[in-house]
Every structure is written in structure tokens, then in C-alpha cells.
Amino acid sequence: MKRIILKSKVHGAIVTDININYEGSLTLDEKIMESANLIPFEQVHVYNITNGERFTTYIIKGEKDSGIVCVNGAAARKVSVGDKLIIASYALIDEDKISSFQPKIVIIEGKNKIKEVKEK
């Protein structure tokens, strides 16, 4: 049996921009993506800490070290610039491998700078 397990989490990212006219997705600083083991077009769940909204979209690579967190398309209506987000991705893991699996947790501070990267 396989179970759906947290693979990556970015905690505390601040929305820097919104673009309603874009086709859809979330643009994220490439350095944050790399630190969280996220790849372009990977599905993510976004939890808005500020207003409680939740949505599913996919990641687009933003400029490295830019601090960009831009929510695009229809999902842009669920956030405002300055909102604090949790961005999470999940993976199917064989049950016998779960005990050795470690998700990547990236803690963000200030202007979307990485404070800490840990494997739980």
C-alpha cells in the first residue's frame, strides 16, 4: 500500500505580487524551490494563513534570490499582496519506506528569505 505523505513545505512565504490575467500557477523564487525540493510544474497546495483560503495550483520558477511569490490566474483572487502562505507538496510513498522518509521544511522570514531548512 502507498500513502500520501508531505514531501515539501514552505512556511511563511509572503505574497509579493498577483497577476489575475496569467493562465494560472504560482511563481516562486528558484532558491526557495530548490531548498524545498520543488520542481517547475509540480502540483502544490497553498494555504493562506492570513485569510484561511486554500487552493491547488502548480509552481513556476521565478528569478533566483528575488523573493518573488506571485499568485497567478484565478487563484490570485484568493490572496492579497502581503498575505502569509504555506506552500505544500505531497508524494505517494510505499508504506514500508515511510519511517525513513523525511520531508523538506523551509521556514521563511522577512522579505522571503530562507531562515531555516530542515528535514523532519
Q: Catalytic site residues? A: 25, 58
CA atoms of 44 and 39, how far apart (whole Å): 10
What strands, in cross-sheet order, belong to the sheet with 54-62? 17-19, 69-72, 25-29, 54-62, 43-48, 84-94, 2-14, 104-109, 113-119
Q: Is the dihedral of CA 64, 45, 109, 80 positive or negative?
A: positive
Residue 18 corresponds to which cell in the numbers above? 498577483
Cβ 21 vs Cβ 13: under 8 Å: no
